[in-house]
């Protein structure tokens, strides 16, 4: 079993590439919507707000935010222990960076390329407005990872970094899939494997039920 995490800049192709990787490998795709379903079961209704609200120093003392982030980290571990999943974003690379059978991927593209993609896909005609929105999305993701995971998205925590302007989407998918296959052929350190993760039984059951139901559809 293996896990792929996808960290990405706005409009670098993360969702599309993540889905195609999951389809090619036969893995389950974990997105914000997947996580939100379990958050709702735990009484945390608005995961989007938790993720997108900039966190100042006082938020460290806010029990709601602390509980939300604690649950998110435990969810990363539960999804990884389930195995054969592609997790898009949500700081998953930071939680899972030390496991031997996790491939942490970072997708990026030059700012002007991503602005154009934003205008094309989001029906924004004003380039100044598009630039503002892309910068805000990047800032939110970086602030979230830094505040709650004490990590940087330009760090050495990624195994594979791909410029999706230079490497076309289909080739990016093939590169990641081939790397996963190569990784699975190598002998893994069992003490650092996702199989060694100790998961809360209640959370494990919730993840198993959610992903098993998704696999049937």
Residue 45: pLDDT band (50, 70, 90) is: very low
What tens digit of pLDDT does each residue of 171-189 get? 999 999 999 999 888 877 7
Residue 53 is predicted with a pLDDT of 54
Residue 190 is predicted with a pLDDT of 73
Residue 62 is predicted with a pLDDT of 60
Give the integer Cα–Cα distance in Å for 43 and 47: 10
Query: Out of 1.10.287.1080, 3.40.50.170, 3.40.50.300, 3.40.50.1820, which CATH number does the structure's domain 3-210 have?
Result: 3.40.50.300
Stated pTM of the model: 0.86
Q: Is residue 204 pLDDT above 80, yes or no?
A: yes
User: Between residues 51 and 13, which one has the greater pLDDT?
Assistant: 13
Residue 58 is predicted with a pLDDT of 40
Residue 119 is predicted with a pLDDT of 96
Q: Write down the domain spans for the chain.
A: 3-210
Of 213, 210, 160, 197, residue with least CA distance to 40: 210
Of 121, 127, 158, 150, residue with least CA distance to 60: 150
Residue 43 is predicted with a pLDDT of 63
The H-or-E segment that residue 102 falls in is strand 102-108
Average pLDDT, the chain: 86
| Largest distance between two CA atoms of the chain | 52
What tens digit of pLDDT does each residue of 68-89 get? 788 889 999 999 999 999 999 8
Q: Which two tokens stand for residue 158?
A: 């990624």
Distances (CA, A) of 23 to 18, 44, 61, 89: 9, 30, 41, 18
Pairing mode, strands 85-88 and 3-8 = parallel
Residue 14: pLDDT band (50, 70, 90) is: very high
Residue 69 is predicted with a pLDDT of 80
Count CB neighbours of 85 within 10 A. 25
DSSP-derived secondary structure letter, 27: P
Of 207, 213, 212, 209, residue with least CA distance to 72: 207
Residue 153 is predicted with a pLDDT of 82
What tens digit of pLDDT does each residue of 100-115 get? 899 999 999 999 999 9
What tens digit of pLDDT does each residue of 123-167 get? 999 999 999 999 999 998 888 888 778 888 877 889 999 999 999
């Amino acid at each position: 079993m293996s896990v792929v995490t996808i960290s990405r800049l706005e409009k670098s192709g993360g969702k599309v590439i993540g889905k195609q990787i999951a389809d090619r490998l036969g893995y389950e795709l974990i997105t914000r919507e997947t996580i939100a379903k379990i958050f709702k079961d735990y009484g945390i209704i608005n995961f989007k707000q938790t993720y997108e609200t900039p966190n100042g120093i006082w938020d460290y003392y806010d029990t709601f935010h602390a509980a939300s982030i604690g649950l998110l980290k435990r969810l990363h571990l539960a999804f990884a222990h389930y195995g054969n999943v592609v997790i898009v974003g949500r700081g998953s690379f930071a939680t899972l960076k030390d496991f031997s059978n996790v491939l942490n991927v970072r997708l990026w593209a030059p700012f002007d390329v991503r602005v154009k993609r934003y205008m094309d896909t989001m029906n924004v005609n004003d380039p100044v407005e598009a630039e503002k929105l892309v910068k805000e999305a990047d800032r939110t993701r970086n602030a979230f990872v830094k505040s709650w995971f004490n990590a940087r998205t330009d760090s050495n925590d990624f195994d594979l970094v791909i410029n999706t302007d230079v490497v076309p989407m289909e080739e990016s998918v093939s590169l990641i899939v081939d790397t996963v296959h190569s990784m699975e052929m190598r002998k893994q350190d069992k003490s650092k494997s996702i199989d060694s993760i100790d998961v809360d039984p209640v959370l494990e059951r919730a993840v198993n039920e959610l992903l098993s139901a998704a696999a049937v559809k």
